[in-house]
Amino acid sequence: MKQASSLYRLLGDEARLRLLRLLARERLNVTELTGILGLAQSGVSRHLGLLKEAGLVVEERDAGFSYYRIAPRVGDESGGAGLWPVLEAQFAEAGDDPAVRADQARLQEVLRLRKENFETHGSPDSRDARQLVPGRSWAAWSRALGLLLPPLQVADLGCGEGYLTVEAARWASRVIAVDRSEIVLRRARGLARRRRMTNVIWKRGELDKLPIRDATVDVALLSQALHHARHPSRAVEEAARITVPGGRVLVLDRFIDSSLAYQGFARGLGIDAVLAVNAPGLRGLLPDLTIVLDVDPLVGLARAGGAPDRIEAEGLDLQQRVAAGFAVVARRFPERVRLIDGLRDIDIVAASVEAAALEAVADAGLRRGG
């Protein structure tokens, strides 16, 4: 009786039941369980120790990691005959519970990241091959595809420390790199020298008054630059001015909707207030489509990995407010802001993003008579 009483007290903790439910589905290590449950690593380790002591889970070593799983024939070994079928029935009934669904979504994300982890699944030549792992292949693919382009004249506007400038210089005949900061330009020049790039012209200037003649380049790049511009719409007009007829202006930026979610909602300034402050610079320029990948903040932090950046370091509460802010923005502007479930299979997410983008392009063409 005493053993049974101790066992039922052990299972009276919600965190331990969540652990058992996960371990019944997959063998996991402490780091993975911490990311899924959102608990401190010390707490997860303590719960696992108690469950292991009770004979409910076993520990296995593999490739330098300790993995945990449900003990074989756990119903007999626990000392509580028939206990496991009861627990499984409870787990099944709780399948629609929001906390259980969140655990399941984070479990799927952990399994996806594990599958893409090159250290586990790659060859010994990991330094170069790492870039070819799904999700980490952007640099390798951009370089390969860039070599298929004709020798274009490119402008990198708001070039910063020159990383995109150097990538473009690999395939462009010439790159004109512009930034307002001489200090930043000095660093960018140093990077280009180290990479032996000699086809870059460096210019200091403002995005809304570019030091480049009309119709000079085939492609103008504005990557993470517009939100630094004093007049974003003028910066776009300037980029169009320096581009030859039939050329392209490519914009990659967080733009206004991110400010609405971060500053307007998460920071408490108010969405209308942020819109009003930005209105003079925007002059009516808004995105045709904003795609928000809707992901649980715990999953997002797990995906980011490594040392947290300045925003991530502010904690989970801010990330949750930001996620809620993007949901509010999507409800406020449903005609141009699309929420896409980022927890689904990566191929499904990619197809959803592509479909939304194609639909937006078609709609924009119809509105403008194109």
d(CA 289, CA 365): 13
- Strands (E) across the chain are located at 28-29, 57-62, 65-70, 153-157, 174-179, 200-204, 217-223, 243-252, 290-294, 337-341
Task: For residues 296-302, give the mean pLDDT.
Answer: 81
Q: Which residues, 6+ apart, have CB-to-CB distance to 86 below 8 Å?
A: none
Residue 124 — pLDDT band, cuts 50, 70, 90? very low
Q: Same CATH topology for 2-108 and 254-370?
A: no
Nearest Cα to Cα of residue 244 among 212, 273, 269, 198? 212
Q: Domain 2-108: which topology? A: Arc Repressor Mutant, subunit A (1.10.10)
CATH code given to domain 254-370: 3.40.50.300
Architecture of domain 150-253: 3-Layer(aba) Sandwich (3.40)
Mean pLDDT of 161-188: 94
pLDDT, position 131:
37
pLDDT of 129 strictly over 50: no
Predicted structure pTM score: 0.50
Delimit the domains of the chain by residue range: 2-108, 150-253, 254-370
Q: Which residues of 218-257 are buried (b: 16+ CB within 10 A; e: fewer)?
A: bbbbbbebbeebebbbbbbebbeebbeeebebebebebbb
In contact, 262 and 321? CB cutoff 8 Å: no
pLDDT tens digits for 46-99?
Answer: 888 888 888 888 898 876 678 898 887 665 544 445 677 777 787 887 777 777
Tokens of 95: 């399948």
Q: Measured on CA atoms in the order 315, 316, 322, 325, is the torsion positive or negative?
A: negative
Closest alpha carbon to 3 in 71, 56, 78, 84: 78
